[in-house]
Structure formats: C-alpha cells, structure tokens
Amino acid sequence: MLLANINGAIIHSKTGSGVVDGNGVPFWIEFAADSSFARPTLVYITGGSNIVVENLYFKNAPNVFHSVTGGATDVVYRGLRLNAEVYDDVIPKNTDGFDVGASYVTISNVTVNNQDDCVAFKPNANYVTVTDITCTGSHGLSVGSLAKGSNDIVQNIYVDQATMIDSAKATGIKLYDGTSGHGVATVRNVTYNNIVVKNCDYAAQIQSCYGSTSTCAASNHTITDVYWSNISGTTSTKYDPVVANLNCPSLGTCNIHVSSFTAKAPSGKANVLCSAVDGTLGVTCSGAASG
C-alpha cells in the first residue's frame, strides 16, 4: 500500500476489527533462500501530511510493516496491532514495525510482535513521539542504523511507557564505524522514559561498530542530550551480569545520561559497560563496552 504525497488521509477500521494481511510467508521463504530477493513494505508513506492510520490489525508483512519518509509530516499511528511470527521455522526477517524517517510523527497504543526493530528512528526522524507500546521478539526501540553511506541526523525523539519483551535490546542506538565510505551521524535530544524490560538481552545499548564483523574503525559521530530514565525489569541470561552496553564513538561526542535505572540481570546484578562517555553518566561503569 503506497501513499505518495497525499494530504489528509485516514486509514482505519470503524469497528476496530479490520485486518490487513500482507501474506508474507512466501516472501520470507524466498528471502531465506536468496537474500537479494526484494520484498515490499506493507504500508509505505512518502511525502504528504495529516495522515492517520488507526484501529487495525496488520499481520504477515513481507518486509517492513510501516515506513514513513520523503518529507512527510504530521502522521499518526494509533490503536494498532502488528504481528509477524515464525512460520515452519522460517524467520520473518526485516519485519520492522515502524521505520520513521519523517517529522512530527506519533505512535501510540500499539502492540508489535516481530523479528526486527519494533520502532526504528531512521535518518531525518525529527519530533517523533512513541507512547504506550508493547514490543515482543524485536530488536528493540532503535535509533538507526545511521551513517552507513551518508551523513545522517536523528533528533527530538521521545519514548514513554514501553514494555519490551524477549528483545535483543530494549532500547538503543546503532551507528556504523568510521571506515572510509561511511558517513557521520548526529543524534540529539532523545529520551527513553518508563521502559519495562522483560527478558531482553540488554536494557540499553549503543553500537558504534554496527555492521562490523572484525575490526572497527574509530568514528567521530555526535551523540548529545540522550536520556534513559525509569528503566526497570529483568534482562535475559545472555549477558548476565551485564544489563547495558554503551559503546560511544571514540573520536566523537557522547553526552548521555542515565537515571532511575533499576533493571537487573537474573543474577540480581546490574553491570553497565561503557566506553568513551563524556561527563557524568549517572550510573557506575563496570568495564569497557564493545560492539
């Protein structure tokens, strides 16, 4: 479904029982055999303004569920359920719930069950608010990935009241390294507040070497005014006793703050790994970060 340069559209179910089925299983199977196989986004918004998507159940997206980009503004997603579950051992890869690369976007009262980012704040995301969201099986609420081949900016992001279940990370930032050909990322004014962690591998993560398989070139990305507050719950056993891994860009700026961080590993410990953090973090770092 494509909405290109549309102003004033509403996509909704009057009864709240409407279903949009992307019939993604054949796409997942083909992609598992051939990773170059192109798959469509279920609902793609580019340009336009004053668009509302509400009160619907979306399932089996071939690829990303919802993408908004291309200078779109004032887009609202609310009262939605998104579901892409493993089918006969075939993983529905890249089924991001929301890829947001636009301005003045709100996401509220949403549940997502998928196999990639629950919400990804993509390049040019600006003034994005996410409230009352539950994500299961995802890669988390993620800024990025950024700076793969261009200079990217994400700013003015506010997340409040999120429950994160069985995720690779609950919250985080993903940046490519400083290898020639990669760009420079700017991330500023991002808040993760009132996040409940249930069996996620990390409660919080910053990756400055995203996509690197061996060596990681130093980068000069800028991360400023990023806040984690009221983070509670229990992580998985995967990295116990570590609950957060904050690997900031070694040649850049990393002005981040943590408060009321009570998430713990199953052992009861709550180690936080940190590298290249500027100033006072707000929690004690127990070792160097990586990734």
Give the CATH number of the domain where residue 170 resides: 2.160.20.10
Within-domain flag for 25:
yes
Within-domain flag for 43:
yes
Within-domain flag for 283:
no
From the number of C-beta atoms within 10 Å of its C-beta (0-12, 13-18, 19+), residue 56 rates as buried
For 159-190, how does the pLDDT look when each residue is reduced to its tens digit (9 = 90+)? 999 999 999 999 999 999 999 999 999 999 99
Range of the domain at 70: 2-275
Q: Which among 66, 139, 182, 221 is annotated as catalytic?
A: 139
Name the pLDDT band for 215 (thresholds 50, 70, 90). confident
Write the DSSP assignment of 122-168 as a string of letters.
-TT-EEEEEEEEEEESS--EEEEEE-SSS-EEEEEEEEEEEEEES-S
Active site residue 34: no
- At 156 the pLDDT is 99
Within-domain flag for 90:
yes
Higher pLDDT, 211 or 175: 175
The dihedral sign for the CA sequence 146, 151, 152, 153: positive
Active site residue 225: no
Within-domain flag for 287:
no
For 60-74, how does the pLDDT look when each residue is reduced to its tens digit (9 = 90+)? 999 999 999 999 999
Within-domain flag for 147:
yes
**What's the mean pLDDT in 277-282?**
94
Within-domain flag for 101:
yes
- At 182 the pLDDT is 96
For 31-45, how does the pLDDT look when each residue is reduced to its tens digit (9 = 90+)? 999 999 999 999 999
* Position 213 pLDDT exceeds 90: no
* Position 279 pLDDT exceeds 90: no
Write the DSSP assignment of 29-42 as a string of letters.
HHHHH-TT-----S
**What's the mean pLDDT in 236-242?**
99
- Provide the whole-model pTM: 0.97
Within-domain flag for 289:
no
Report how many domains make up the chain.
1
* Position 152 pLDDT exceeds 80: yes
Q: Which among 99, 116, 152, 201 is annotated as catalytic?
A: 116
